[in-house]
């Protein structure tokens, strides 16, 4: 099989180059030029405070937000949310929030989420004001299953980590010493579908609700 795909690879590159009227790869100088190119595409104008824009956009897609004064207030805010939603005393919490003091009668774990999990709490890398989206990265501190399996997803967002545009969020990823996360999830509200007669229905496969705790800068 490896041999076959190698032959196919050569054939495809041959066909592409002949279509482009070239006999081989581009000259090295041209390749270096292409590699060095930094794209400058048009970004839709924004004239709003980043936090306000993030909230307006995120809420427009059925997401909810709540302001808290400090990181230490996270457990109490999550407990209030849990009680309000009438969920069991249990949550999958990203290890990034391990150091917080969670209610004593809670079952808290930091492992991946299974189907029995109804509530998860994650720390996001950043938020993007342009579309009102959260950016989460897979790691031991933030398993991807927390973002998709439970019915209720609570995401902690540091107000200072809101950026204006996608391009600024990519810059944050490029600066990480560990490189790109295995999975980078840009999340813009609860899961939804319109596959039955164009009727919008929340909670298709992913979370039914996404609640953001915004920690003041």
Partner 1 sequence: MEIRSKEFKSRAVFAIHDASLQQAMGKARDGFVGKRAQQAAELPEFEALREEAKNLKNHILENLDHYLERYEDAVKRAGGHVHWARDAQEARAVILDICKRVNAKTVTKGKSMVSEEIDLNEALIEHGMEVVETDLGEYIIQLANEPPSHIIAPAVHKTKNQVSDLFEAAHGGPRKTEVADLVNEARQVLREKYFRADVGITGGNFLIAETGSSMIVTNEGNGDLTQTLAKVHIVTSGIERVVPTLDDATLFLRLLARSATGQETETYTTISTGPRRATDLDGPEEYHVVLVDNGRSKMLAGHFRDMLRCIRCGACMNHCPVYGSVGGHAYGWVYPGPMGSVLTPLIKGLDNAYDLPNACTLNGRCASVCPVKIPLPDLLRELRHLQHQQELSPVMQRRALKAWRFVATRPKLYHAGEWIAVRVLKLLGRKGSIRRLPFAQAWTDVRDLPTPEGQTFLQRWQAQRGK
Cα–Cα distance for residue pair 132/187, rounded to 1 Å? 9
- Write the CB contacts of 143 (distance below 8 Å, at least 6 apart in sequence): 92, 94, 111, 112, 113
Residues ≥6 apart with Cβ < 8 Å to 94 = 110, 120, 121, 122, 123, 141, 142, 143, 146
Min. distance of Cβ 143 from partner 1 in angstroms?
Answer: 4
Q: Does 13 bind partner 1 (CB under 8 A)?
A: yes
Burial label for 121, CB within 10 Å (0-12, 13-18, 19+), is: buried
- Cβ 216 to partner 1, closest distance in Å? 26
How many residues sit close enough to partner 1 to count as binding (CB under 8 A)?
78
Quick check: helix, strand or coil at residue 50? helix
Q: Is 12 an interacting residue with respect to partner 1 (CB under 8 A)? A: yes
> Binding pattern to partner 1, positions 33-72, x when CB under 8 A?
-xx-xxx-xxxxx-----------x---x-----------
Binds partner 1 by CB under 8 A, chosen from 121, 190, 212, 213? 190
Which listed range, 25-33, 69-77, 80-88, 99-107, lies at the site for partner 1 (CB under 8 A)? 25-33
The 82-111 contact track toward partner 1, x by CB under 8 A, reads -----------------------------x
State the residue for tokens 């400058």.
Answer: 40
Handedness of CA 141, 145, 149, 155 (dihedral sign): positive
Inter-residue contact 120 to 108 (CB < 8 Å)? no
Stretch that binds partner 1, among 47-55, 80-88, 98-106, 145-153 (CB under 8 A): 145-153
Instruction: Give the nearest distance from C-beta 108 to partner 1 in angstroms.
Output: 15
- Under the binding rule (CB under 8 A), the answer on residue 122 touching partner 1 is no
Q: Which stretch binds partner 1 (CB under 8 A): 18-26, 47-55, 69-77, 119-127?
A: 18-26
The nearest distance, CB 72 to partner 1, in angstroms, is: 26
β pairing state of 201-202 and 152-158 = unpaired
Binding to partner 1 (CB under 8 A) within 149-188 occurs at: 149, 165-167, 170, 173, 179-188
Could you give the C-alpha distances from 77 to 57, 67, 68, 147, 164, in angstroms and in order?
22, 9, 8, 19, 27
Q: Based on CB atoms, which residue is closest to partner 1, 58 or 215?
A: 58
């Amino acid at each position: 099989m490896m041999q076959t795909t190698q032959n196919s690879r050569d054939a495809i590159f041959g066909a592409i180059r002949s279509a482009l009227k070239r006999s081989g790869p581009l000259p090295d100088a041209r390749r270096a030029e292409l590699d060095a190119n930094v794209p400058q595409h048009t970004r839709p104008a924004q004239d709003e405070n980043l936090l306000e824009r993030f909230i307006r956009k995120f809420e427009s897609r059925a997401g909810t937000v709540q302001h808290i004064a400090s990181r230490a207030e996270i457990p109490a805010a999550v407990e209030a949310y849990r009680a309000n939603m009438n969920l069991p005393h249990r949550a999958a919490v990203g290890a990034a929030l391990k150091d917080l003091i969670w209610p004593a009668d809670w079952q808290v774990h930091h492992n991946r989420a299974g189907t029995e999990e109804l509530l998860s709490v994650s720390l996001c890398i950043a938020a993007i004001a342009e579309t009102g989206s959260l950016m989460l990265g897979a790691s031991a501190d933030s398993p991807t299953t927390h973002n998709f399996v439970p019915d209720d997803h609570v995401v902690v967002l540091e107000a200072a980590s809101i950026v204006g545009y996608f391009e600024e969020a990519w810059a944050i990823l490029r600066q990480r010493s560990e490189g790109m996360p295995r999975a980078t999830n840009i999340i813009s509200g609860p899961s939804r579908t319109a596959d039955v007669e164009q009727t919008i229905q929340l909670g298709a496969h992913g979370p039914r609700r996404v609640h953001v705790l915004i920690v003041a800068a």
